[in-house]
Amino acid sequence: MATSTTPTTIGVGLISVGWMGRLHSRAYSALHHRYPELGIRPRLVIAADTLESGRREAEDVLGYETSTADFHEVLANPEVDVVSICAPNFLHAEAAIAAAKAGKAIWLEKPAGRSGTETASIADAVEAAGVASCIGFNYRHVPAVELAKQLIAEGHLGTITNVRGRFFGGFSADPSDPLAWRFVRSASGSGVLGDLMGHLVDLVHHVLGPIASVSGTTGTYITERPALPGRGEGLLPVENEDYANLLIRFRDDAVAAGALGMLEASRIAVGSSSEYAFEINGTKGAVRWNFARMNELEVSTTNDGPFVGYTTVFANSHFPEFARFQPSSGTGMGYDDLKVIEAAKFLQTFLDGTPRAANIHDGVASARVLDAVETSAANGQWVDLDIEPGTNSAVRGALAPVSA
């Protein structure tokens, strides 16, 4: 990586000072500690939030120079070069399209849009404006995941035969939790599909290659929830799905061409906090990973001899990006670190135009798969897809770079 002797200052704007907005801000601030050779100095210029408490936090805690209640003021500020968009789903397209038209590079949380069509409208605006984009599919940056991608691309697992993936969260398992925006289709779009399955689909695209066709089912099991305080009385209908599963086939140019897979996601899985995992089998070996043990990769590369089965490998300096955060195995990285990696990739892309993290085309690819799942769930048929592979998608003949 090139070393810069004169720091490059990049003006940052933020839309929505919630949990993810705070995380983006901390990632920008940590950048010069973890990636000093890049010579990038993010300058936190202005943050927008409709709540006064959010605006105070932006200035007093996160370090933004000023704040506003109107996100359009962020986009109109000439000192802002890049914008983090961390608002609820129903604001993503409006804010992202306006940011692109204002000439600002965008770091947009997933799902980029509430549907494939809405996500494509963001992509059209980004392409027309010629600005850089990054979508918050941060799990692809886990060092163990990147190493698994590398092992597969280099042929250590042989021909990939099948994949199983799941993202089970129990954060909506309590039926007494009120009907927040995530349960309303006009605000959120789909339910667990956009919230969790989109991450899993992107990870499959990144590690194994583009999906060619899907057959899916969905279910809503907590069908009513109490109204939010001040939003009415009694129970209101839940408008999107709690659970989804899908069978997948890969495109002919995918690294996993010929393989089959099954993916599951649930937001009401009792006993699961964030069980995000995959297992990938090939003719010569297998790998599996679980977010609950983020800093471990289980690897099996033989069925011969006395030592048959998986070996647990703890992340160490040989894993992509790990040494930037910890000196040795046994001292693990955390979730926030993944956003620092993502911030580094995003800002480098802003400076030189070379895609490194997931961009809006990856967002469209994931959203098109989710749309196909809903179609399949409605008609009971397989749905064929014609999607662009996206940034760093695992296609044959190309091993995408895993470093920032």
Q: Give the list of residues 6+ apart from residue 234 with CB closer than 8 angstroms, or none.
A: 226, 227
Provide the pLDDT for residue 388. Answer: 74
Same domain for 72 and 116, yes or no, is yes
- pLDDT more than 70, % of the chain: 94
Provide the pLDDT for residue 404. Answer: 53
CATH number at residue 296: 3.30.360.10
Provide the pLDDT for residue 205. Answer: 95
Provide the pLDDT for residue 308. Answer: 74
Residue type, 390: G
Structure tokens, 287: 């790998």
- Domain-located, residue 2: no
Mean pLDDT confidence for 128-157: 96
Q: Where among 69, 104, 138 does a domain terminate?
A: 138
| Residue 257 half-sphere exposure toward CB, CA atoms < 13 A | 10
Provide the pLDDT for residue 1. Answer: 42
Phi and psi, residue 345, nearest 5°: -65, -40
| pLDDT higher than 50, residue 2 | no
- Domain-located, residue 403: no
- How far is Cα 146 from Cα 142, in angstroms, rounded to an integer? 6
Domain count, the chain: 2
| pLDDT higher than 80, residue 402 | no
Strand pairing class (296-300; 311-314): antiparallel
Q: What is the pTM of this model?
A: 0.94
Provide the pLDDT for residue 307. Answer: 63
Mean pLDDT confidence for 287-301: 96
| pLDDT higher than 70, residue 284 | yes
Q: Where among 112, 138, 164 does a domain terminate?
A: 138
Q: What is the mean pLDDT of the chain?
A: 93
Same domain for 130 and 197, yes or no, is no
CB-CB neighbours of 38 under 10 Å: 20
Same domain for 209 and 122, yes or no, is no
Radius of gyration in angstroms for the set of CA atoms belonging to the chain, rounded to a whole number: 21
| Residue pointed to by tokens 């599919």 | 137
Whether 248 and 204 have beta carbons less than 8 Å apart is answered as yes
Q: Which domain holds residue 63?
A: 8-138
Residue 399 confidence class, pLDDT cut points 50, 70, 90: very low
Q: Which helix (H) or strand (E) holds 118?
A: helix 116-129
- Domain-located, residue 396: no
Same domain for 179 and 202, yes or no, is yes
- How far is Cα 256 from Cα 293, in angstroms, rounded to an integer? 25
- Domain-located, residue 197: yes
Residue 3 confidence class, pLDDT cut points 50, 70, 90: very low
| pLDDT higher than 80, residue 122 | yes
Same domain for 122 and 185, yes or no, is no
Please give the full DSSP string across 34-79, using - where no structure is assigned: H-GGG-EEEEEEEEE-SSHHHHHHIIIII--SEEES-HHHHHH-TT
Whether 315 and 299 have beta carbons less than 8 Å apart is answered as no
Q: Where among 90, 105, 138 does a domain terminate?
A: 138
- How far is Cα 267 from Cα 241, in angstroms, rounded to an integer? 9
Provide the pLDDT for residue 389. Answer: 62
Same domain for 129 and 151, yes or no, is no
Same domain for 99 and 150, yes or no, is no
CATH number at residue 29: 3.40.50.720
Please give the full DSSP string across 348-374, using - where no structure is assigned: HHHHH----S--HHHHHHHHHHHHHHH
CA separation (Å) from 146 to 130, 189, 204, 344? Answer: 28, 30, 12, 16
Same domain for 27 and 157, yes or no, is no
Same domain for 110 and 180, yes or no, is no
Same domain for 103 and 65, yes or no, is yes
Structure tokens, 371: 């749309």
CA nearest 128: which of 108, 86, 99, 107? 99
Same domain for 243 and 375, yes or no, is yes
Same domain for 126 and 211, yes or no, is no
